[in-house]
């Protein structure tokens, strides 16, 4: 479990006690923080009875709290928690922001953050797979279904690979990724952005905006909006620290990768290769790892042959 003395003695409210929320409570308690925990359902609340205070933040005095940690599923554009917390001057954050704040207490490491409307789970798993196959200590977490705070701290030189939805990015303010990947942006989840595609695009772009100018941004520049983000980041960083994904060098290699077929996986593969090369892996490392990647369940999978089909 990842915890940090930075949280010790501070007060946090945690709203939503499903997977990431429960992990957040555990990490904060292990760090010596005071926690006010709440979920609409009685069962998840009962799991923390006697271990922390149970109560609805919307019915609590939040004076002096360091943050209200909400699950990504809480719709910030309609839920009352954000304006309520703002009355007390308390930030509304997510577990990824807590991870970002804990980084200074972890052994030296790097972070890859991956977002996009489509392909981010496969790309996250692929980056993790290549690094692991190359012998690099690595953990993955975030939107892929593994709360990052439940992962054990990596040793010196480790790499945390994070899949980040727009909801998670909205709750994050200080995550300076060593490599940030934006695969693509198409209209999705617009109910969370008051029907505005531009607000959704701005949410995705924030992953790069949080980076220091010396860090690398990899962007799939195949849509008008992603091209604009690339140009903005290129202007901010200077030459060489932002790059459009280039699929051409691996077109002839893709047939060798049975778990990565299809044009969408060409983009995912190009992103993963560029990311791991920035982290120190070489061509031999990823060429060895790519054919061994089986893909994720319920995506494109090779089926059994029957009667020659």
Is the pLDDT assigned to residue 306 strictly greater than 60?
Answer: no
CB 268 within 8 A of CB 260: yes
Q: What is the pLDDT of residues 76-131, one digit of tens each?
A: 999 999 999 999 999 999 999 999 999 999 999 999 999 999 999 999 999 999 99
Give whole-number Cα distances, 213 to 37, 234, 277, in Å: 37, 9, 19
Q: Name the strand (E) or helix (H) holding 232.
A: helix 224-237
Give whole-number Cα distances, 114 to 125, 306, 307, in Å: 10, 38, 41
Mean pLDDT on 203-219: 98
| Verdict on whether the full-model pTM lies above 0.85 | yes
Per-residue pLDDT band for 299 (boundaries 50, 70, 90) equals: low
Domains detected in the chain: 5-93 (3.40.50.720), 107-292 (3.40.1190.10)
Mean pLDDT on 154-158: 98
The residues that bridge with 70 in the sheet, in sequence order, are 15
Query: Which pLDDT score is estimated for 295?
Result: 84
All residues at 6 or more sequence positions from 140 whose CB lies less than 8 Å from its CB, including other chains? 124, 125, 127, 128, 146, 160, 161, 162, 163
Is the pLDDT assigned to residue 298 strictly greater than 70?
Answer: no
Q: What is the pLDDT of residues 8-38, one digit of tens each?
A: 999 999 999 999 999 999 999 999 999 999 9
Is the pLDDT assigned to residue 192 strictly greater than 80?
Answer: yes
Q: What is the pLDDT of residues 237-256, one digit of tens each?
A: 988 899 999 999 999 999 99
């Amino acid at each position: 479990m990842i915890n940090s003395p930075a949280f010790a003695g501070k007060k946090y409210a945690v709203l939503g006690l499903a997977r990431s929320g429960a992990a957040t409570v555990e990490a904060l308690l292990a760090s010596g923080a005071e926690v006010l925990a709440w979920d609409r359902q009685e069962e998840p609340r009962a799991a923390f009875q006697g271990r922390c205070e149970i109560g609805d933040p919307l019915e609590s005095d939040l004076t002096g709290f360091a943050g209200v940690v909400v699950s990504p599923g809480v719709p910030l554009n309609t839920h009352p928690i954000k304006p309520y917390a703002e009355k007390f001057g308390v930030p509304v954050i997510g577990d990824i922001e807590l991870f970002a704040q804990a980084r200074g207490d972890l052994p030296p490491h790097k972070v890859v953050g991956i977002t996009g409307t489509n392909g981010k789970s496969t790309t996250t798993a692929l980056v993790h797979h290549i690094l692991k196959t190359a012998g690099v200590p690595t953990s993955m977490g975030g939107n892929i279904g593994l709360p990052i705070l439940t992962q054990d701290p990596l040793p010196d030189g480790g790499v945390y690979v994070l899949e980040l939805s727009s909801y998670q990015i909205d709750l994050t303010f200080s995550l300076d990724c060593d490599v940030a990947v934006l695969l693509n942006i198409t209209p999705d989840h617009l109910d969370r952005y008051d029907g505005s595609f531009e607000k959704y695009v701005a949410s995705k772009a924030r992953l790069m905006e949080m980076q220091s100018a010396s860090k690398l941004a990899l962007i799939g520049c195949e849509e008008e909006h992603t091209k604009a983000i690339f140009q903005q980041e290129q202007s901010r960083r200077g030459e060489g620290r932002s790059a459009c994904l280039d699929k051409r060098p691996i077109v002839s290699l893709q047939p060798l990768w049975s778990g990565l077929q299809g044009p969408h996986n060409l983009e995912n593969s190009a992103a993963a290769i560029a990311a791991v090369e920035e982290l120190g892996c070489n061509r031999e490392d990823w060429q060895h790892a790519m054919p061994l990647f089986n893909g994720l369940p319920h995506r494109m999978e090779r089926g059994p042959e029957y009667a020659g089909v």
